[in-house]
Every structure is written in C-alpha cells, then in structure tokens.
Amino acid sequence: MDLGLNNKVALVAAASRGLGRAVAEELATEGASLIICARKQETIERVANEIEAATGAKVIGAAADVSNPGDVSRLVEIGIQRFGRIDILVTNSGGPPAGHFETFKLDDWNTATRLLLYSAVELARQVLPGMKERRWGRILNITSIAVKQPVDNLILSNSLRAAVTGFARTLANEVASFGITVNNIMPGYTRTERVEELSRMMAEKEAITAEEFVARWEKEIPMRRIGKPGEFAALAAFLVSERASYITGTSIPVDGGWIKALM
Ligand code: NAD
C-alpha cells in the first residue's frame, strides 16, 4: 500500500528513543521529511543523523522541551524555515512519575499537566494555522492504554491522558472540515528503553530478575508478550497517511489485547 507520505513533512516530538524514535524511523522510511526533538541538542542531532543515514530521508534534530511553550514555538519555526511547512504532527513526551494520590502535591500535577496536556495543545496550536491554510493535516497523539483502563499506581498518567483524549476528540470535530484528522494511539506495554529501565528498577526492589518482572506483565496480555516499538510505529504511519483520510477523533490501542473492554 502506498501511504502517500513521500514529500510530506512531519514533526515528531520526543523522538530520541522509544516510541517517538520508532515513529520517526517509520515515517522516514516512507519518504517523509522530518523535524524531531528531545531536550538535548547533541542527542537529537545524533539520532537525526542516524535516521538520515539509514533511510535517506531529510531529518532535522532540534532541542526542545515540549513542556516549555517557548521551545515548542521555536521548534515549529525551525521546521517551517527548513521545509516550508508541517503537514503531520506526532505529539509525545516522557511519561510522568508513578505514584498514588497521596504521592503528589499540586506542583507535581502542574508539571505533569505541562508535560502531557499543554505540550499537545501548544504543538497543535503552532501547526494548525498552516494545516488549515493548505486544507490538509494529520495530528496524532501518543497516549496510553490507561485512557481505557487505568493502570494502578499511575494517577498522573491515568488522569492526564484522559484530558488529552478529550482535547483531541473536540479538536477533531473543529478541524475535520479542513481535511485535518486528529487521532490517538494508546500504546500497551512496549519494549522501549524506558520500559527496560523500569522493569530493571522494579525487579531490583523485589529481588527478582527484570525478565521475571516483565513476565508478570506478559501474563496479563492475551498475546503473552510485550510489544515492539515497530509494531506501534506501523499504525502511527498509517494514521498519519493519505490513506487514513476518513479516520478522525479516534483512539486505537496497540496492546496485544491488554484492554479487556468491548469498545
Ligand atoms: P522513553 O523514555 O523510552 O522515550 C521518551 C522520549 O521522550 C525520549 O526521546 C526523551 O528524550 C523524550 N522526552 C522526555 N521528556 C521530554 C520533554 N519534556 N521534551 C522533549 N522530549 C522529551 O519512553 P517511551 O516508552 O517511548 O514512551 C513514550 C510515551 O508513551 C511516554 O509518555 C510513555 O509514558 C507513554 N507510554 C509508553 C508505554 C510503553 O510501554 N513504552 C506504554 C504506555 C504509554
């Protein structure tokens, strides 16, 4: 299937590793030009060069903290200066810390809100005028399975991913007539650097191996394994493609069947 991504320009946020990087690699392989960000210039430039070398796509790496609106507007400016436009936006960031209600003060909620919700809002605000003008655009938010089924001990993520989903569903209605789609992908347990670090950390606390810890997650997954970043990125590439032109306002899990709900 030709996804029609050749010559499209995509901004992929938080893409130095993990899901963001996998999406960037997939889009570059499909012929899109990219602007990608992470907080450290050196790291994101290295990753941009690696993706460019592997795919032949044009990739710019720019330092930006997506929870800082000034960084977001600079990032979009660099993309527009270099490529003339941004057709596709993939929002992403690191996850907020784990914890229960009593773990967090209001400041923690503010920080997590800037990281997860405001970053998606601000990125969308910066790219939408151009998308509306050209009457074509794709916005895709990376959220979490927590939107459908809250995950224990993740109160910040459970709350704020739902807020992003409400924002995205409303925005989808407001921009659909401009040929712009807004969707979310809900990753389940996926073997990224973060998940590897997390499983090592949790395993240490319980004096078991990381593999034993991951096996506990795998027991809850009908496919009995955690996902690969490439499996996530394949759906992302489709949802931002020309071919997904009539899909908007939706959230799709890539979770090996983890969410048990019907809808
Ligand atoms: P990861 O830690 O491996 O990668 C996160 C990326 O975001 C890195 O490139 C990092 O440099 C960048 N980043 C972090 N904070 C940033 C900021 N403020 N500004 C710019 N860049 C920033 O994480 P991942 O596993 O790829 O997860 C990506 C997102 O998906 C996270 O929000 C995570 O909570 C969520 N998620 C992941 C899984 C999973 O199993 N991997 C499951 C559900 C949800």
Which numbered atom of ligand 1 lies nearest the CA of 43? 11
Cα distances from 30 to residues 11, 207, 241, in angstroms, run: 14, 44, 10
d(CA 134, CA 41): 31
User: Is-contact 87 35, C-beta < 8 A?
Assistant: no
Top-level class of domain 9-188+228-254: alpha beta
Pocket lined around ligand 1, Cβ cut-off 6 Å: 14-20, 37-39, 65-67, 92-95, 115, 142, 144, 187, 189-190, 192-195
Length reported for the chain: 263
Which residue's CA is the closest to the ligand 1 atom numbered 19? 65
Q: What is the pTM of this model?
A: 0.98
- The token pair at 181 is 């789609």
List pLDDT tens digits, range 92-135: 999 999 999 999 999 999 999 999 999 999 999 999 999 999 99
pLDDT of residue 190: 98
Residue 256: which pLDDT band, with cuts at 50, 70 and 90? very high
List pLDDT tens digits, range 151-185: 999 999 999 999 999 999 999 999 999 999 999 99
Q: How far, in Å, from the CA of 147 to the mean position of ligand 1?
A: 16
| C-alpha dihedral sign at 91, 146, 232, 5 | negative
pLDDT of residue 98: 93
pLDDT of residue 117: 98
According to DSSP, the residues that pair with 181 across neighbouring strands are 138
Q: Where in the chain is the domain with CATH 3.40.50.720?
A: 9-188+228-254
List pLDDT tens digits, range 37-89: 999 999 999 999 999 999 999 999 999 999 999 999 999 999 999 999 999 99
Residue 263: which pLDDT band, with cuts at 50, 70 and 90? confident
d(CA 35, CA 12): 6
